[in-house]
Chain A
Amino acid sequence: MNLPLYEQLAIALTAGVLRGAVYALVALGIVLVFRGSGVFNFAQAEFGTTGLFAAYWALTVQGWSYPVSFAFGMAVAIALGLLTERLVIHPLRDSSRVTLLVGTAGVALAAIGLQFWLFNETLVMSMPKIHDGYFTTPWGAIVTMQELITLGVLAGGAALLALFFRSPSGLAIQAAQQERVASELVGISVRRVSMLTWGIAAALGGLAGILAGPYLTFSAGFLSFGAVGSLLPGFMAAVLAGMRSMPGAVAGGLLVGAIEQLSSLEVFAESIPGAGAMILFVFLLVVLLVRPQGIFVGRAVTA
């Protein structure tokens, strides 16, 4: 395969942006939670895997229809998010951030353990796609409909979130995040706001998981460090967004996806094993050394 470099690049960037859509969904959840609770949520990707497992169970074991299974998966993901908030985040609300981080990592590990345990008998899990179609771009990249759907959901979800944060509830969340005590005084329930934040974040994770699941076969920990490992890329996208900007998280996710896919260029793929992970690591170091406050931080940032 000796494609010219620009063609390889075009193919890699296409694949990267499509993969980046998943990262962006995860990053949105991470940013949302960080704004809400100041937590690095290491369970974010596992909300997605858990939702995916639930949807898979509903579809293949229970034989429910695809939309119902999808909704069920989303419900389970959101339930896990709310449970996390109630059982871990709320009791630890006055603890240090590292304690909270350990807590979310514990939730992630618990979710992975449960997935291993409950689906131990199923060997290879494979979720059907919403739409089986695909097409080849003029420059030779293969694009599946499933990936386009994910991209579309990302666009729609981001738009909805933008609208939501202009609504009274959204403004309440923002107020509560910035001035907890003052918000309580004007009658905003911080507790409800926290639940809402975690619920939305878990829903974003669920979308990422259930939409990305059909890309490949999956197993426990799928969205954290499995076939579509999005935890680290998601965090990197969030860092690019200064941990605060929602549009930044979307842009960051797409950028991280594209950069990671550079590893598929022949120069890297042939000579360096696991080039993707190396590129991500170096990229993170560069960002942290050169521009730790992020790139896509937007205007209204209170970092």
Chain B
Amino acid sequence: MTMMITRKFQAVALAAAITLTVPACGQKSGVASQVVVGGVPGQVAADGSIVPGTTAADGSAVGVPGATGGVTGGTPTGGGSTTGGGSTTGGSKTTPSGTGGGGEAPPATAPRSGGGDTTGVTDTTIKVGIHAPVTGAAAIPQQSFEKAVGVYFDMVNKKGGINGRKVEVKFEDDQFRPDTARARCKKFAEQDKVFLIIGGAGADQIDACARYAASASVPYLSAGVHETRPGQAPLSSLSTYFALSLTYEQQTPLLARTYKASYNGQKVAVITADNDSLDNFHGKAVGAIKAAAGSNLAYERRIPKNTTSDAPGIAGEICRSGAKAVVWNASPSSLLNVAKVLTCKVGFIGPGLTNGLNIVAEVGCDNIANARFYSPFPGMDVMRRNAEFVNAYKASNGGSAPDDLGAAIYGVESLVGMILAATGKDLSRESFMATIGKVKQFNNGIYPPTNFSSRFGGTAMHLLRADCSKSEFVTEKVNVRP
């Protein structure tokens, strides 16, 4: 096993070396930074009113509890612009060190000559594509994503849009399948001609679509997933890809820390789905847990993506290993199946999944009591207090109450909205992507603040805990940095 791990590390190191060399070519950051700094300040003031108080107000009004020091809920949009915008708060510019192990320098930014690529943008509209699973094998409520998509943009449109442009959202069901996701994204790019694409959920779907989007030069944004897939270029090398939260790999130190905090000295198991995109994560997670637990790492295993009939065997092995904590990165439905047949008590710890976890807590909370999972968006206990979110969700969905997927999509949409706003009136794909690289921090009070020193812009995660008295995941800690 040690052999395998060292080999994995070598591979990681190699990958990092490669990625570091990639961005060197064709980058004219000097020009870009000028453009952005010139363009942003004027907009920031306007933003404050257009994307109204989302940021500053939320941070305090919603009262994300216990925000970790250093990141205050300042007006983040202006973070990068120091040229007298007036709305920037100095404190919010703290650049967290050590984000993203194998990341690369700021995303490639082409100089904006005249208009740049303005596909999907008119004087009055911006067309945005979002894909997420509505149907298919994912344990996701049929209507959750249908309801969630567009909530934020609807609200913004009612208030006049972003820099005077209304956001037109195209939504496609990717059926929780990478091939469908790719086909839908192709439709977005070639048929609908969208400006950018947002990946709603599902690591493999996000991966497939991000690769297509890069080939079609469409900006692609999603929550953080994996960083590499064997036999494929790393996601960090895709010229249009941006992860808005920490990747699985970046979260491994958090998992080790959670283990140490709650289960120190007890036996621990690492269970990862056998998706090859998680190879890298699994290696890193095992490494991190080994460093934290030493010989207490009792069991590690890859399990089928959709664990059904194998569940009893896996559960039996976990119990026989004597593990009290299980680091878990596999689908929620697999978690349910394994938890259902467990004959011993274990605490689950896991990285932020894009599919929402409350369904697990609703169906089988007893089996996963006190499970701790990281998440790019806070639990519903916090989000329900976010009046703007709740009202926007209700307004778009005939008064029905929001769920965690609603919060997830709202979080992504509002981050994208902030970036669009910060880009300014002169919107092209180039200027949009340049803005992501230049603005130090975007903070919408839902996602942890971003910092795009690499393709992976996440800086922190929220920690959620399964509270079986409420049958949902509640927020234990926000903005936990690795």
Contacts and interface: CB of A to CB of B under 8 A. Distances in A.
- A contacts B directly in the complex (CB < 8 Å)? yes
Interface of A: 1, 3, 11, 15, 120-121, 123-124, 126, 134, 136, 140-142, 144, 215-217, 226-229, 264, 269, 273-274, 276
Given A15-B313, A216-B308, A227-B308, A126 B320 contact: no
Interface string B128-145: 000000000001111000
The 5 closest A-B pairs by CB, nearest first: A227-B308, A124-B363, A264-B313, A142-B316, A216-B337
A124 B313 CA distance: 20
A142 B319 contact: yes
B311 interface: yes
B439 to A, nearest CB: 39
Contact of B343 (A121, A134, A226, A273): A134
B312 A215 contact: yes
Contacts of A1: 299, 317, 320-321
Contact of A228 (B309, B316, B359): B309
Instruction: Tell me what chain A mostly uses at the interface: helix, strand, loop, or mixed.
Output: loop
Nearest to A274: B304
Given A120-B142, A123-B141, A142-B319, A15 B343 contact: no
Measured as residues with beta carbon below 8 angstroms from the partner, the interface class of chain B is 20 to 34
B255 interface: no
Nearest to B312: A15
Contact of A216 (B304, B317, B340): B340
Nearest to A264: B313
Contacts of A269: 313
A217 B336 contact: yes
Interface string B279-323: 000000000000000000001000010001111110111011100
Interface of B: 139-142, 274, 299, 304, 308-313, 315-317, 319-321, 333, 336-337, 340-341, 343, 359, 363-364
A124 B359 contact: yes
A217 B316 contact: no
Contact of A273 (B274, B320, B341, B359): B274
Given A121-B142, A124-B336, A126-B363, A216 B311 contact: yes
Contacts of A11: 316
Nearest to A214: B340
Given A134-B343, A216-B308, A216-B309, A123 B337 contact: no
A81 B313 CA distance: 33
A229 B309 contact: yes
Contacts of B309: 216, 227-229, 276
A216 B341 contact: yes
A56 to B, nearest CB: 13
A217 B317 contact: no
B44 to A, nearest CB: 42
Contact of B140 (A15, A120, A123, A126): A123
A126 B321 contact: no
A217 B140 contact: no
B31 to A, nearest CB: 50
A215 B341 contact: yes
B201 to A, nearest CB: 14
Contacts of B319: 142
Given A1-B320, A134-B343, A216-B337, A126 B142 contact: no
A217 B333 contact: yes
Given A3-B320, A215-B341, A216-B340, 4 more contacts: A1-B321, A141-B316, A227-B311, A273-B304
Contacts of B337: 216-217, 227
Nearest to B338: A216
The winner among A134, A217, A264 for most chain B CB atoms within 10 A is A217
A121 B319 CA distance: 33
A274 B308 CA distance: 12
A260 to B, nearest CB: 9
B284 to A, nearest CB: 21
A20 to B, nearest CB: 13
Contacts of B341: 144, 215-216
B343 A142 contact: yes
A126 B312 CA distance: 15
Contacts of B142: 120-121
The winner among A136, A141, A216 for most chain B CB atoms within 10 A is A216
A141 B341 CA distance: 13
Nearest to A120: B142
Contacts of B139: 123-124
Contacts of B310: 264
A70 B13 CA distance: 58
A135 B389 CA distance: 49
Contacts of A216: 308-309, 311-312, 337, 340-341
B141 to A, nearest CB: 6
A264 B304 CA distance: 13
24 contacts: A1-B299, A11-B316, A121-B142, A123-B363, A124-B359, A124-B363, A134-B343, A140-B320, A141-B316, A142-B312, A142-B343, A144-B343, A215-B312, A216-B340, A217-B308, A217-B336, A217-B337, A227-B308, A227-B311, A228-B308, A228-B309, A269-B313, A273-B304, A274-B304
Contacts of B317: 1
Contacts of B363: 123-124, 126, 217
Nearest to B141: A123
A21 B204 CA distance: 37
A124 B337 CA distance: 10
Nearest to B344: A142
B335 to A, nearest CB: 10
Nearest to A222: B308
Contacts of A123: 139-141, 359, 363
A215 B341 CA distance: 7
A228 to B, nearest CB: 6
A226 B315 CA distance: 18
